[in-house]
Amino acid sequence: MEFLLKVYSKVNNEIVSFFGRLKLKLLGVDFGDNLKLFGTPIISLIKESKIIIGNNVVLCSSSKNTSLGVNHPVKLKTLRPNSRIVLCDDVGVSGATICAAKSVYIGYRTMLGANVMVIDTDFHPISPNNRRYNQNPEDIKSKRVIIGNDVFIGANTIILKGVTIGNNSVIGAGSVVTSSIPENVIAAGNPCKFISRINTSK
């Protein structure tokens, strides 16, 4: 019985991945080889914007396939023409939301834990004057986000506009990252701050 359940699960995952990849292709997402989809991601691609996904990327939108569970499917959303989301080769994402008004870049082999949010914009103007309805891009602050290679972002972390996270760094669960983090460090908290260095020679 256990063997049959494993076979069923594998076949089901392959079917979901096949139709998910077909959906992404129809939506205009550029993706590489061996994209694995557990559950169906939510994709919103504005005309003249781009979502680029590299080889061997895993997008997990199902609580059955990740230890912590996810609050919602992976969501990739571009907000303006010419905005870009780039997931490099071997990136893993679990139930994260990534929104780009300008650019969000996630480097090679980086992992985004359950329910992470990466956003490069304030979504609304800071000024209270007509804040509710003003969607003029010139009045809404946006700045690209860059996450380096081999970075691990802990569950429920929020990464805000203008942040760069250096290669190999670890961001503790539940952090709010409001400013850039150097490479080879552990950082955590609200706001996220340096805790210790990582010995990369081991």
Helix (H) or strand (E) holding 196: strand 193-197
Long-range pairs for 118-126 at CB < 8 Å and ≥24 separation?
118/145, 118/147, 118/159, 119/145, 119/158, 119/159, 119/160, 119/161, 120/144, 120/145, 120/161, 120/162, 121/79, 121/161, 122/161
Catalytic one of 124, 141, 143, 193: 124
User: What ranges in the chain are assigned the alpha helix state H?
Assistant: 2-27
Catalytic site includes residue 72: no
Residue 136 tokens read as 């003029």
- Token pair 């985004």 in the structure block, residue: 112
Residues annotated as part of the active site? 124
